[in-house]
Structure 1
């Protein structure tokens, strides 16, 4: 029986580093799906994250392949927050979330040929109140513009929080390794 090829449908350096922790041989490949075109903001945040994870994985699926797709977004006060892309937008988003709780939704989808396995982690995160100067200093320090919510809780961003409620801390970084390792073990990889 030929060994299955494990593919991470992502160009995210964070997801790559996380999957490396599981000690599997894998290849990271950009998904063939157009994420922006598929982003349907009429969907509930969890449904949107799950849809985007699925289409990324599905875009690379095929015989002999196990493909992992993931997506992450923030649900805050009825809005969906993704990556800020600019320091100014990052500061604005962080200022609006201070002293409040938001949900960080991390969805994964795994295709083994045509069989699909999925998991979604919802982490509740409560931010401390910070001054504008403290938030600006944080954004300068961590440069979190490529992260949903404009923070890196696994780095200096941890100082922004009063409370984090999660089942899997790695989900905050972009790939829930506890659930993913169970899926991959069940696939006999």
Structure 2
């Protein structure tokens, strides 16, 4: 496959959170938004949906950039077997937080690395316990942070951490949107050097 460090690396995402997280690994990359239908399939589990969509996003970009290495990722929250996605607005976000207060929600963050006929993917689970807080507190939070582009309506990297009672995960950045421990492993398995060699970056 040649020197992987000099081959294009593309993040198949429009998420600023995933871009910021991937930048931590020190690899040069560009981000391209994939055109993928994110609706669940009939009788599809939440974890299976996240993994399928991560692979689909990577495949969509790999198809138009066949020489590039592509990273796809997707996240979905599971509340008693029901997928909880991005709210998009205040009213839907408040409804999500009202339903999740005092509850344990399982977030599934899947990531895929793809290139030509190579593909590897993994799903990382995070267990989040939400505090049982009154509507007034939830409303104040939403007006402060406006987390309408986040599945579950709470940014754990921001003020949303105050809504949570506990977080259990083997990969601390998974809840933000990209599991860097898992991704680093996938990239190393594919042949990438992380941290990248200084010679490769010159």
The TM-score range, normalised by the shorter chain, is over 0.9
Q: Is the 8 A contact 1:41 1:48 kept in 2?
A: no
| 2:118 equivalent to 1:133 | no
TM-score (norm 2): 0.88
Instruction: Give the number of aligned pairs.
Output: 187
Query: Unaligned 5+ residue runs, structure 1?
Result: none
Q: How does 1:64-83 map to 2 (within 5 A)?
A: 64-83=67-86
Q: How does 1:39-78 map to 2 (within 5 A)?
A: 39-61=40-62, 63-78=66-81
The alignment partner of 2:19 has SS state of helix
Partner Cα distance (2:73, 2:86) in 1:
15
Q: How does 1:173-184 map to 2 (within 5 A)?
A: 173-184=176-187
RMSD of aligned alpha carbons: 1.3
- Corresponding residue number in structure 1 for 2:199: none
The alignment partner of 1:148 has SS state of coil
Per-residue CA shift, 1:100-124, capped at 9, x if unaligned? Answer: 1010110011102211111111101
Query: Unaligned 5+ residue runs, structure 2?
Result: 193-202
Q: In structure 2, which of residues 144, 162, 165 is the aligned counterpart of residue 162 of structure 1?
A: 165
Ranges of 4+ aligned residues in structure 1 off by more than 4 Å: none
